[in-house]
Each structure stands twice: as C-alpha cells, then as structure tokens.
C-alpha cells in the first residue's frame, strides 16, 4: 500500500511528507477531520493502527488501536479509559454471549481474558459433570473425602449422643435420607456403604451413557432408577 498525499485512514488525511524518518520510514503530516495535525510514519499509516489525532479516543498517538479486533470471545469496541497503575488502555468489549465488559489492552493481547466471564463459568459447569441436576464430580469427591470434624471415619455416619446410637445418612439430589441408627459403628458404616451404591450406579451410568465430562445431560435423559432416593 503506497502512501501519498490524500491517503485517508479513519479521520486522518495525509497532507505531505516531513523531513523526518522513523525506523527507515518516511514520516507524514496528517490532518484530522477535527482540524488538528499529527505526524505518522509510513508503517503506522499502512497498518491503520492510528485513525485519528486522539480527539475521539483515549488511544494516544503511537499506541495500538485494536478497535474491532477479536480476542477469544471478545471484540474490542472502543477505548474507555486508561489504567494508570498498569499503564495500559482499558477497552469496552462485547462478548459472543451478548454481554459487555471492560478489559485492559494488556490482558486482551496476552490472552489472559477471553470472555466476559461466561467462558470460565461454562468450564466450571462442565467440570461439575451435571446430569439431571446432580453433579457427578461432587458425588465422586463425596465418596473419597472425609471432613476433618468427622468422628466416625466415614462420610454420612455420626454419633447421636441423645440416643447413644450411630446414625447413617446420605444426601442425593438435595435430599437427606436416613439409613438407620445402630449400636455398632461398623453397622452404621455398612449401611452408608450400601446407600452409596446409589452414587456409584449413577456415576457408572453417567460415564457409560455420556463418556467425557463435557457432555451436558438433560433431566429427562436420566433414567428414573438412577435418580430416585432410597
């Protein structure tokens, strides 16, 4: 693209070359539609990195203009300010999901921020492995982790002082089910383990039916036997 007097980019019109050179490139005097002038080198004009004298943008001469460029799910719409602490321009962006947000130019260029936050939420939901309103991931963690304040050594089993019994319970789909009270702690643990077959059956069904965790399952798709309580 050859730069000559009359060449236009954005609100700028090249009026003629100056005696200066920058990086081996001719520096041109450009007149903005607002009446101000600015000097820009050939490479900057060819790239269209600067499109006005600074009158309608907080992007200062010499700074990169990313208007209309895409970064992940975000499209840079317009600069809205400067993060003085970070020394970078802040951009108003529109996400593919329809939301808008403000992101620093540095985070956009580095790829640190690629959505309004919906992408992160989507990944989090996928990691939960939701099926029929139940998280397979939570169930799996519940089978392997025992709280530090647990005195029985088994999740869902606790000692009821008033009745002097070990009580076994299990939670599934927002409901808590009582699996019985026992004099012997081991009997309560066995009852809990029998109850956990509901978990393991559900988890096995999930992986057999949908395989990888990124699949999302509707409530209607879940077999009744997999979601009923005991």
- pLDDT at position 4 is 93
What is the mean pLDDT of the segment spanning 221-228?
38
Asked which of 78-82, 147-151, 180-184 is least confident by mean pLDDT, the reply is 147-151
Across 5-9, 39-43, 52-56, which has the greatest mean pLDDT? 5-9
The CATH class for the domain spanning 1-62 reads mainly beta
- pLDDT at position 17 is 94
From CA 146, how far away is CA 164, in angstroms rounded?
Answer: 22
**Residue 113 binned pLDDT confidence (cut-offs 50, 70, 90):** confident
User: What is the percent of the chain where pLDDT is above 70?
Assistant: 66
Q: What is the tens place of the pLDDT at every residue in 78-103? A: 887 777 777 788 888 888 888 888 88
**Residue 178 binned pLDDT confidence (cut-offs 50, 70, 90):** confident
Q: Which of 155, 144, 162, 163 is nearest to 188 (CA)?
A: 155
Rounded to 5 degrees, φ, ψ at 186 are: -65, -35
The pTM is what? Answer: 0.36
Q: What is the tens place of the pLDDT at every residue in 46-74? A: 888 677 766 665 556 566 788 889 998 89
Q: Which of 179, 133, 136, 184 is nearest to 156 (CA)?
A: 179
3-class DSSP state of 19? strand
CB of 205 within 8 A of CB of 223?
Answer: yes
Q: E strands within 8-164?
A: 8-9, 12-22, 25-32, 37-41, 70-71, 74-83, 88-95, 100-104, 130-131, 134-135, 157-160
Region of residue 18 (phi > 0: left; psi between -120 and 50: alpha; otherwise: beta):
beta
Which has more confidence, 132 or 170?
170
Average predicted confidence (pLDDT) for the chain:
76
**Residue 155 binned pLDDT confidence (cut-offs 50, 70, 90):** confident
CB of 155 within 8 A of CB of 199?
Answer: no
Domain map of the chain by residue range?
A: 1-62, 66-123, 129-227
Q: Name the DSSP letter for residue 65.
A: P
């Amino acid at each position: 693209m050859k730069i000559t007097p009359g060449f236009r980019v954005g609100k700028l019109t090249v009026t003629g070359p100056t005696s200066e050179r920058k990086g081996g490139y001719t520096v041109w005097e450009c007149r903005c539609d607002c009446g101000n002038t600015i000097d820009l080198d050939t490479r900057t004009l060819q790239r269209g990195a600067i499109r006005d004298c600074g009158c309608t943008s907080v992007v200062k001469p010499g700074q990169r203009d990313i208007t209309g460029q895409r970064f992940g799910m975000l499209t840079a719409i317009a600069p809205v300010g400067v993060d003085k602490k970070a020394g970078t321009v802040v951009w108003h962006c529109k996400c593919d999901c329809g939301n808008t947000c403000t992101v620093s130019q540095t985070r956009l260029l580095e790829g640190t921020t690629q959505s309004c936050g919906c992408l992160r939420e989507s990944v989090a939901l996928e990691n939960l492995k939701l099926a029929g309103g139940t998280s397979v991931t939570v169930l799996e963690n519940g089978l392997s982790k025992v709280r530090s304040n647990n005195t029985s050594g088994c999740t869902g089993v606790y000692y009821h002082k008033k009745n002097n019994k070990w009580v076994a319970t299990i939670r599934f789909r927002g409901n808590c089910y009582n699996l019985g009270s026992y004099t012997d702690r081991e009997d309560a643990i066995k009852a809990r383990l029998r109850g956990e077959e509901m978990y393991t059956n559900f988890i096995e069904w999930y992986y057999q039916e949908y395989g990888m965790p990124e699949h999302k399952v509707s409530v209607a798709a879940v077999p009744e036997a997999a979601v009923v309580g005991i």
